[in-house]
Chains A and B, each alone.
Chain A
Amino acid sequence: MARIIVVTSGKGGVGKTTTSAAVSMGLAKKGHKTAVIDFDVGLRNLDLIMGCERRVVYDFVNVINGEATLNQALIRDKHCDNLYILPASQTRDKDSLSLEGVGKILDELSKTFDYIVCDSPAGIEKGAHLAMYFADDAFVVTNPEVSSVRDSDRMLGLLASKSRRAELNEEPIKEYLILSRYSPDRVKLGEMLSVNDVQEILSLHLLGVTPESKSVLNASNSGTPVILDEKSDAGQAYADIVARYLGEEKPHRFIDEKKGLFGKLFGGK
């Protein structure tokens, strides 16, 4: 049985797709057979971030409608043989998805995969609901600013009440916090919420902090998940996140501000 992970947030633009791409690549590189599904029907992005947009023949909606088999629609990643991408349809909308259809696809994928990562669209409407409905774990991606935190809180409420596990009275979805686009310098200036502020509001297990980083934009533009850029801070942050999720103990990084050469030399505050 596969473990189904939903990457969700409520708010848009916080880094759900970047996280989905990085986390699924990270899991695959650790030797787990992983599928990543783009639930953002109509605003297809995941294939761009994964660099497979030119290989899309069939999509998620085709499989739901029975116009293609799952194997025809799954795209094998060019960097890692353990990773498969199920792209969204760009020409349909979220009403093309149905609860039964999504359930059937996830069931079928569960037979052969270890992890299924569901990249949720923004909002709390149908697409987001279907992305999280069958989840076992939820990665809640939040930016350190009030509206994003508020939306994440709302999403956590929905995870606790509107998911399959909630409806069947099973063990609740395991929720993890990923604080993305974090900038310690701006926290220090009081322009951004700190890790502690966000954790106090959401009271959630912190899986990792990813720094605001140029490497993310570069990675997206070139179609390679940022986790493959092992030299970049964001790539290392995502590698830590995957390791922690798989049970490794890793100290949190990227929470304190970077010290300049001067600071390093004198070690002062």
Chain B
Amino acid sequence: MPKVSKNNPFTDTILEFKSSSFPVPVLMLSSNALNLIDTQLHTKISLAPEFFKNSPVVFDLSFLNEQDLSIDIEELTRVIQKAGLLPIGIRGGNEAQNNKALALRIPVYSQYHNLQSPNTTPKTPSQQEPVTAKESQTLLITQPVRSGQRVYSNGDLIILSQVSPGAEILAEGNIHVYNSLKGRVLAGVLGNTNARIFCSDLQAELISIAGNYKISEDLQAFYHNKPVQIYLQEHTLIIQDID
């Protein structure tokens, strides 16, 4: 007989919502030719069939829409599913495409941030201005960030004192550390690939921009007590001296 947990149905809370983030591949499309997408997708997947098997995927239409190229969401979904992937989101779609996706029970994601309610009216650029200004608040820290402490900024993060080993600093935007940086540093945590890390003395345990990371072991060669900047180029972290 199946076992049922013995919770009191009236008093016990048996569920809760927790926020969690997962790395999900995003399929960036630069053509609306479905047959081309189909063949190239298969070629790509054949390189690592186990990795892609039943992998969730978000498809991104921002480039297509920039070029005014239309695409049938229903057909696209079918092509992606045929390749063995599970589409779990659409990003950068126009209103019609988003509605179509929702009809197929595919959630709509905004460019960089979390779930966007499908009911929000499309924003005009002038309306968007104050919103971004508010979101990109810069957090300034003047006290040392000690081992075990965690600092998170919704925008940029500027730290004037040291970041100890075992500390973790995260920002949705850029991170500046004008002192020795010995902890873990993660910029662009919501996927902003243009985020950069600047620091005057790099000795970090881990650096990451938009999920692309390097650990201390791979960084030894760059520890030379000089100001550096770190940015992302083609999914590779570039560490460069600032002269």
Q: Chain B residues near A160 (CB, 8 Å)?
A: 143, 146, 149
The CA-CA distance from A161 to B166 in the complex, in Å, is 16
Contact B148 A157 (CB under 8 A): yes
Interface string of B174-217 (1 = CB under 8 A from A): 00000000000000000000000000000000000000000000
Interface residues on A, range: 10 to 19
* CB–CB B147/A150 < 8 A: yes
B143 contacts A153, C-beta separation under 8 Å: no
Min CB–CB distance A3 → chain B (angstroms) = 22
Q: Which A-chain residue is minimally distant from B179 (CB atoms)? A: A203
- B153: CB under 8 A from chain A? no
- Judge whether A201 and B143 touch: CB under 8 Å: no
* A14 shortest CB reach to chain B, Å: 16
- With an 8 Å Cβ cutoff, the count of chain B residues facing the other chain is 13
* Contact pattern, B 211-232, Cβ under 8 Å of A = 1, otherwise 0: 0000000000000000000000
A-B pairs under 8 A by CB, number: 31
Q: Which of A154, A201, A203 contacts B148 (CB 8 A)?
A: A154
Interface residues of B in 141-178 (CB under 8 A from A): 143-149, 161-162, 164-167
Determine whether the beta carbon of A150 is less than 8 Å from that of B165: yes
CB interface residues, A 108-161, toward B, < 8 Å: 150-151, 153-154, 156-158, 160-161
Q: A157 with B165: in contact, given A150-B147, A203-B144 (CB under 8 Å)? A: no
List B contacts of A203 (CB < 8 A).
144, 161-162
Per the bound structure, the CA–CA distance linking A160 and B162 in Å amounts to: 15
- A1 CA to B218 CA, complexed, in Å: 54
By a CB distance below 8 angstroms, the chain B residues around A150 are 147, 165-166
A154-B147 Cα distance, complex, nearest whole Å: 5
In the complex, what residue of chain A is closest to B148 when comparing beta carbons? A154
Q: Which residue of A lies closest to B145 (CB)?
A: A157
B164 touching A161, Cβ below 8 Å: no
Q: B179 to chain A: closest CB distance in Å? A: 9
Interface residues of A in 50-94 (CB under 8 A from B): none
Q: How far is the CA of A229 from the CA of B142 in the complex (A)?
A: 42
Residue of A nearest to B146 (CB): A157
Give the docked Cα–Cα distance between A150 and B205 (Å): 14
> How far is A161 from B144 in the complex, measured between Cα atoms in Å?
12
- CB-based contact A157/B147 at 8 Å: yes
B161 with A153: CB separation less than 8 A: no
Residues 124-150 of chain B, each 1 if its beta carbon lies under 8 Å from chain A, else 0: 000000000000000000011111110
Known contacts A161-B149, A203-B161; decide if A154 and B144 are in contact (CB<8 Å). no
B166-A154 in contact (CB<8A): yes
Q: In angstroms, how far is the closest chain A Cβ from the Cβ of B43?
A: 49
Complex Cα spacing A154 to B148, Å? 6
Report B-chain residues with C-beta under 8 Å of the C-beta of A158: 148
Residues in B with CB closer than 8 Å to A157 are: 145-149, 164, 167
Interface string of A154-191 (1 = CB under 8 A from B): 10111011000000000000000000000000000000
14 contacting pairs across A/B (C-beta < 8 A) = A150-B166, A153-B147, A153-B164, A154-B166, A157-B146, A157-B164, A158-B148, A160-B143, A160-B146, A160-B149, A161-B149, A201-B164, A203-B144, A203-B162
User: Top 6 A-B pairs ranked by shortest CB distance?
Assistant: A157-B146, A153-B147, A154-B147, A157-B149, A154-B148, A153-B164
